[in-house]
């Protein structure tokens, strides 16, 4: 057993808007003393809280401590677009289709296990149903190329036996109020989350059940001590027999999977709460979620009062940042692009102000694998969600908890079978090359 020091802690650019629009966040309770526990979890996002819940199911009454660097839902959990997707959604492909029919069927079954796990937590903790809306999503197409992507994705889904429905331009207008889309592909299995609402309420439920959640408690060191691990935070210390690292890309900050993880930042903006006049001009359905037919295009989402206001969220632009820190200039550029993409879709609302713009960190591997395994004796990882962390983070969290408990399941079998993330090209080529590639893919996505 060795010592692992955190070389970096999360740095956020812009607010976690999904959390900012919800009232009543509980006051944080940082760790201020030395405690012992059976299990410690580092990170309080989808993976960390799912791991904690699964540990509690497997070991009722055991001591479980979650250490979160910031506040719950202040990281990527409060910065994503909230699509908890059941279907293959390979962001590196042209049309989301995955690696082949068998592996896609397996991934669909696993994603649906993640959704079922979250649904049970929603029922158990009486989480507001508006934060977990099983309404499906639409892949919008704004060009012939986009429409062709949707057609090939639809054919792939039909071959897999998955329900899908093609919407024409008129149906897209009736849904979104926008004339931008020429067609769309509706699939019913996605759950639309208010991601911060879900995560904060999940944390509250876990606390109710006796799990200690310490916010504002970044772990700076993990050191082996006999058969235990000692985790050091700013003001306290946890000694635990087993530890799960659920800190996504910051796994590398502790020295694991070095030069194998791609740290990508995505950017989004959210409008002000739309007034009656704007809503009248907008028309369309009160809530919807549109992913782009080209994975590098623009995601749009409309939410309602129960999710934090009548607002539209625009998500596009990506940068590869091995240093894990986006600059103000990067966020400013993305915010300008967001305003343009929003105006293209809703010209009648072009004057509407964006209340929030932000960046968020996600972690990909070149070969699309996660890191869910025992790293050293008693130290486990539930990381690298490949941009699909609402479902895959839930899965790797469940899986790491099971692995730490000696329990085998379809989830542990899937992730322990995966290869290691492949190595990245040497610096600085990786950064220059990847950012040029991302800009090219953004440009190629065009109107999408």
Ligand X SMILES: Cc1cc2nc3c(=O)[nH]c(=O)nc-3n(C[C@H](O)[C@H](O)[C@H](O)COP(=O)(O)OP(=O)(O)OC[C@H]3O[C@@H](n4cnc5c(N)ncnc54)[C@H](O)[C@@H]3O)c2cc1C
Asked if 203 touches ligand X (CB under 6 A), the answer is: no
Per rule CB under 6 A, count of chain residues that contact ligand X = 40
Which residues partner with 242 through β-bridges? 39
Candidate segments 74-82, 155-163, 345-353, 416-424, binder of ligand X by CB under 6 A: 74-82
Nearest residue (beta carbon) to ligand X: 389
Identity of the residue, 47 or 274, whose beta carbon is nearer to ligand X in the bound complex? 47
Asked if 47 touches ligand X (CB under 6 A), the answer is: yes
Q: CB of residue 417 vs ligand X: minimum separation in angstroms?
A: 20
Q: CB of residue 276 vs ligand X: minimum separation in angstroms?
A: 29
Which residues partner with 5 through β-bridges? 221
Q: How deeply is 299 buried, as exposed, middle or buried, from its count of CB atoms within 10 A (0-12, 13-18, 19+)? A: buried
Q: β-pairing, 137-141 with 288-292?
A: parallel
What values do phi and psi take at 381, rounded to 5? Answer: -120, 145
Q: Decide: 348 and 180 in contact? Cβ < 8 Å.
A: no
Candidate segments 144-152, 240-248, 255-263, 409-417, binder of ligand X by CB under 6 A: 240-248
SS3 189: coil
SS3 332: helix
User: CB under 8 Å to 315, separation ≥6 — which residues?
Assistant: 81, 266, 267, 268, 298, 299, 300, 301, 338
Asked if 77 touches ligand X (CB under 6 A), the answer is: yes
- Binder among 21, 31, 42, 282 for ligand X (CB under 6 A): 42
- Binder among 13, 19, 56, 83 for ligand X (CB under 6 A): 83
**Contact letters for ligand X, residues 378-397 (x by CB under 6 A):** -------x-xxxxx-x----
Q: CB of residue 280 vs ligand X: minimum separation in angstroms?
A: 28
- Binder among 65, 118, 317, 362 for ligand X (CB under 6 A): 362
Asked if 68 touches ligand X (CB under 6 A), the answer is: yes
Q: CB of residue 195 vs ligand X: minimum separation in angstroms?
A: 7
Candidate segments 65-73, 125-133, 328-336, 402-410, binder of ligand X by CB under 6 A: 65-73
User: CB under 8 Å to 164, separation ≥6 — which residues?
Assistant: 154, 157, 158, 185, 186, 187
Q: How deeply is 134 buried, as exposed, middle or buried, from its count of CB atoms within 10 A (0-12, 13-18, 19+)? A: middle
Interface positions, 309-328, toward ligand X (CB under 6 A)? 315
CA distance 417 to 421: 12
Q: CB of residue 31 vs ligand X: minimum separation in angstroms?
A: 10
Asked if 6 touches ligand X (CB under 6 A), the answer is: yes
């Amino acid at each position: 057993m060795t010592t692992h020091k955190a070389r970096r802690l999360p740095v956020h650019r812009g607010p976690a808007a999904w959390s900012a629009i919800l009232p009543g966040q509980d006051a944080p309770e940082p760790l201020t003393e030395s405690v012992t526990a059976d299990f410690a979890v580092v990170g309080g996002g989808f993976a960390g809280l799912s791991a904690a819940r699964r540990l509690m199911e497997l070991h009722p009454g055991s001591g479980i401590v979650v250490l979160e660097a910031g506040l719950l839902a202040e990281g990527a959990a409060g910065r994503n677009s909230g699509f908890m997707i059941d279907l293959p959604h390979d962001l590196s492909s042209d049309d989301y289709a995955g690696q082949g029919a068998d592996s896609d069927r397996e991934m669909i079954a696993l994603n649906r296990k993640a959704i079922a796990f979250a649904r049970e937590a929603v029922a158990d903790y009486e989480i507001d149903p508006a934060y977990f809306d099983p309404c499906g999503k639409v892949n919008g197409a704004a060009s012939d190329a986009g429409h062709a992507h949707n057609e090939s994705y639809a054919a792939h889904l039909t071959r897999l036996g998955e329900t899908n429905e093609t919407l024409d331009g008129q149906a897209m207008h009736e849904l979104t109020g926008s004339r931008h889309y020429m067609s769309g592909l509706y699939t019913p299995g996605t759950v639309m989350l208010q991601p911060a609402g879900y995560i904060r309420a999940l944390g509250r439920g876990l606390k109710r059940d006796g799990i200690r959640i310490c916010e504002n408690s970044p772990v700076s060191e993990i050191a082996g001590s006999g058969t235990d691990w000692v985790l050091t935070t700013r003001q306290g210390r946890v000694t635990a027999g087993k530890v799960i690292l659920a800190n996504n890309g910051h796994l590398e900050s502790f020295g694991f999977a070095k030069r194998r993880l791609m740290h990508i930042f995505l950017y989004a903006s959210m409008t002000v709460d739309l007034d009656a006049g704007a809503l009248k001009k907008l028309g369309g359905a009160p809530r919807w979620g549109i992913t782009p037919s080209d994975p590098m295009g623009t995601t749009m989402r409309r939410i309602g009062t129960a999710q934090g206001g009548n607002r539209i969220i625009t998500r596009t632009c990506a940068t590869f940042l091995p240093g894990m820190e986006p600059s103000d200039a990067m966020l400013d550029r993305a915010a300008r692009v967001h305003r343009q993409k929003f105006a293209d879709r809703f010209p009648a609302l072009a004057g509407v102000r964006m209340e929030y713009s932000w960046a968020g960190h996600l972690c990909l591997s070149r070969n699309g694998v996660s890191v869910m395994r025992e790293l050293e004796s008693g130290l486990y990882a539930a990381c690298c969600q490949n941009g699909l962390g609402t479902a895959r983070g839930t899965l790797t969290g469940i899986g790491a908890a099971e692995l730490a408990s000696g329990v085998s399941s379809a989830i542990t079998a899937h992730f322990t079978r995966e290869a290691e993330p492949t190595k990245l090209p040497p610096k600085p080529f990786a950064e220059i090359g990847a950012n040029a590639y991302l800009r090219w893919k953004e440009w190629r996505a065009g109107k999408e």
